[in-house]
Structure 1
Amino acid sequence: MLKRNLCASLMAASVIVFPVERAQADRGAALLGGALLGGIIVNEINKNKRRRTVSSGSSAAYSAQRAQNRQVQTALNYFGYNAGTVDGSLGSRSRAAISQYQAQMGFNPDGGLDDYERDFLLGSHQRAMASSHVAPYNQIVAQQGPAGLLRTYRNEQLGISTTTAVQPAPAPAPAPAPVPVATAPAPQPMPAPTPAPAATPAPTEPVSVTTRSDNASLPSFTFGQADRSVSQHCSEINVLTAANGGITAPGRVTDSEFALNEQFCLARTHAMAESNSITATIPNLTEAQIEQQCQGLAQVIKPQLSALPTARPDMVISDASAVLQGSGQPMAQLISGGKVCLGVGYRTDNAEMALASAVLLSAAGQLGYGEAVSHHMREGFGTAQADAAKSGAWMSLALNAVTSTAGAAVMGQSQDRVAVLQDASQGSASGGASAGLPVFPAPSGN
């Protein structure tokens, strides 16, 4: 009894000596006010951060992985990518099928599925099971096979509408019966008017043939320039990529501008997927609330966006870095918020928000995001369109960071993607593959 009481006393003392500390939320940034960087997003991220620590020897995890692999193989086979036997083991044949699927969808064909690519494949398969027999999808299957459904679902996700089935024309309505028309009585002749006495004409003043109303004038309108849509741009690029049989591979860059646009849209897809994975861990904020905070980020970084057309990348980054340092927020917190808003900007087609997020991330030390800044400047999304030298400086900054620093790759910057970016950037800086002195056939001498 004495021993039991002694243990209980020791436990109670330990509770008194070591109280449980309650986490406190970071204070809002003085400079950034109520914007995204106020700390609320990342605090929720930290509280709800998912930890994927699955033991390799866990039989339950192994079984779940095999089951997911079988779903992947089944979906690949359905859409015409031969993954072989559905056994739950992703061997060389399955990897080749995955690469084929990725290439035709405009993803990076590395043979390994990220969460976005896997979810899209499996979700499309489930959708095909439910919709392949109804119009207009049954017509697509009849004309293009199951692979046509996958392309159609991708296009719908990109905002390209699917042509609906042609409905039979309605039967013409019967012609109305003729309505009898009453014959009007013949008009009676009018008596001839009595001629009035001739009046002496008054003197007249000459009339100008150019006389016009005082209110008449040529139309004068003020036309505003509509912002370019990144979403529409990437929809067009992805359609052309699919028509070409897949994304441009390293060593096969023939159109530098098109290859850079492919990489831009691929980076955009990765940015949205990363943003979605982070926001999924924030249960206490709605999408509208997150978007509102991201609007604040765009306003804070707006002075640096205005400097992009004229200032060097290091100057813009230095100015933006001073803003981040002055906010008083931890750098990791700022980076997480920037990743959230980069995807939100692309998802809501707000080019300025996405560009501001990429500048913020670059200023926070994530120089690989300079690729996104370069794409925006080259195409004029969220800023004035810049020449190849200005946009190329940001691309060089990003590529140097990725190739010289381990772990610096962002937005899916794999080795293949970096190789294409390097080839295309060199071609773009020199004016493209077709640039050079004119070449004419030698004269025949006649």
Structure 2
Amino acid sequence: MSRKIFTTTALAATLLSTSVERAQADFGDALVGGIVGGVIVGAIHDRNHRPSRSAPRGVSSASRQLARDVQTALNHFYFNVGAPDGVLGRQSRAGISQYQAYLGFPSTGDLSEFERQVLITAYQRAQFGGPQVTQVVANHPQGMRGLLTVVRDEMLGVSRPPVVEAAAPVAPQPQAPAPAPVQTAAPAAPPAAPAVPNFFNGQATGGASGVSLASHCNRVALVTSSNGGYTELGTMTDPIFALNEQFCLARSYAIAEGESLVAQVPGATPQSIAQQCQGLEPLLQTHVASLSLQPRNLVLQGVMQFVLNSGMTSTDLAGTARICLSSGYLTDNMTIAIGSALILVTLGEASYGELPGHHLMQGIGTAQQRDFAAEWLRASLPSAGATTTEVSFTPGPESRNALILAAVDGATGGAVSVTAPAPAPAPVTAPVTK
């Protein structure tokens, strides 16, 4: 499992390399404006102009290494604190506060020794792997983060019942009727059985389908790892699973792309970004709901009205949508994630239409509609042999596009083919407002 985690991280990092160049070229020092009433306000600065942080005088190398270990562990459990530099600054304090809040500790921003031991122990256990780690990651709605709660309870001496497969709970077996008691007095009541843990008690926020995409991708990753790697065009036997793999890979890329932009917004934290992107949810719900009810062109016409009413320039709105797309996937809020992707497609970045297509294909965050899914996926990918100047959503070999198109054919009942259909109509574009 540990090897799989690093493989996915490496893939996302490779995909991100061209994204950073694109983000700097598109946005540079441009403002990431406020969405409808100033939901997100900040500035993206050139990293070369940002002052570097240095360690306070008198800090020993051992202390800096401890701080690096903390930062590395926080990043591993998705409490993003940036590059581990051994300096626990504002971003690191914010990540520590999120970690503390997640485990029910006081959110002080300063780790107690016990809190640090829980964090480091959980990280070391994640690196070592093993059946228990695999089971927790596969069944917990928060995926890898669930390991933190297990280690915390163990160190507190809290007895935990065995982890139960959430997808297939074990039904209680009927018992034979007990023989009639001889004595006339009522027997003493037996001790109460321990409650079976409910890992989905209001915690899955996967949208209309109620499915957590984070948990879904954890399961996909486990199967991919056991299969020895990602499905390739020549070895594809299950088109739906092949699309699942590419869906989760695209999700990882979208998260990494947004995080690279958030790192350039002074004072921003994942928590503050998530709170601000939350304001988009009621504005995007209608458009996301229409995804499974209307064809692609009608959905985009509706989103266009939202774009025109936002009062933002196309550049600012696109930057905000990328950040909220990442935040939506990190917080498992499918309305924000899908809605942000729809905004980017409406602004002319058709390749982001791959994401709504995957959601429709798998029925996550929206009702499953595979015919509509095929329309979105085919329109998001360039035709075979076509030349385009558009930057791809997920840079990679052309074989990826062929794999997705062939899987779409197989998933919708057609013959599996590596030849892409005719180019889709050009996406609707928004005027640049001043």
How many Å separate the matches in 2 of 1:137 and 1:367? 41
Q: 2:227 aligns with which of 233, 244, 252?
A: 244
Aligned counterpart, 1:392: 374
Structure 1 pair 269–326 and aligned structure 2 pair: CA distance change class (3 A): same
Q: 1:34 aligns with which of 38, 41, 61?
A: 38
Structure 1 pair 331–237 and aligned structure 2 pair: CA distance change class (3 A): same
1:175-221 Cα offsets, whole Å, 9 max, x none, are: xxxxxxxxxxxxxxxxxxxxxxxxxxxxxxxxxxxxxxxxxxxxxxx
Aligned counterpart, 1:260: 243
1:316 lines up with 2:299 in the alignment: yes
Structure 1 pair 351–140 and aligned structure 2 pair: CA distance change class (3 A): closer
CA shift, 1:419, in A, is 2.0
Aligned counterpart, 2:279: 296
* Mean CA deviation greater in 134-143 or 306-315: 134-143
Aligned counterpart, 1:279: 262
Structure 1 pair 422–266 and aligned structure 2 pair: CA distance change class (3 A): same
Aligned counterpart, 2:59: none
User: One-letter code of the match for 1:396?
Assistant: R
Q: 1:50 aligns with which of 42, 47, 51?
A: 47
When Rg is computed on C-alpha atoms for both structures, the one with the higher figure is: 1
CA shift, 1:153, in A, is 10
Q: 2:413 aligns with which of 406, 411, 430?
A: 430
User: One-letter code of the match for 2:47?
Assistant: R
Give yes or no for contact 1:256–1:432 (8 Å, CA) kept in 2.
no
User: One-letter code of the match for 1:238?
Assistant: A
Q: Per the alignment, in what secondary structure is the counterpart of residue 230 of structure 2?
A: coil
1:229 lines up with 2:212 in the alignment: yes
Give yes or no for contact 2:143–2:218 (8 Å, CA) kept in 1.
no
1:22-66 Cα offsets, whole Å, 9 max, x none, are: x9979756xx22334xxx14xx11xx13359xxxxxxxxxxxxxx
Structure 1 pair 25–372 and aligned structure 2 pair: CA distance change class (3 A): closer
1:218-240 Cα offsets, whole Å, 9 max, x none, are: xxxxx998711000000000000
Aligned counterpart, 2:394: 411
Calculate the TM-score normalised by the size of structure 2: 0.52
How many Å separate the matches in 1 of 2:363 and 2:246? 16
How many Å separate the matches in 2 of 1:140 and 1:342? 29
How many Å separate the matches in 2 of 1:323 and 1:50? 32
User: One-letter code of the match for 2:241?
Assistant: F
Give yes or no for contact 1:378–1:385 (8 Å, CA) kept in 2.
yes
Gap runs ≥5 in structure 1: 1-22, 53-115, 121-133, 168-222, 434-446
RMSD (CA atoms) = 4.3
CA shift, 1:408, in A, is 3.0
How many Å separate the matches in 2 of 1:363 and 1:238? 31
State how 1:174-253 maps to structure 2 within 5 Å: 227-253=210-236
In the comparison of the two structures, how many residue pairs are matched?
A: 267
Structure 1 pair 34–394 and aligned structure 2 pair: CA distance change class (3 A): same
Structure 1 pair 334–159 and aligned structure 2 pair: CA distance change class (3 A): same
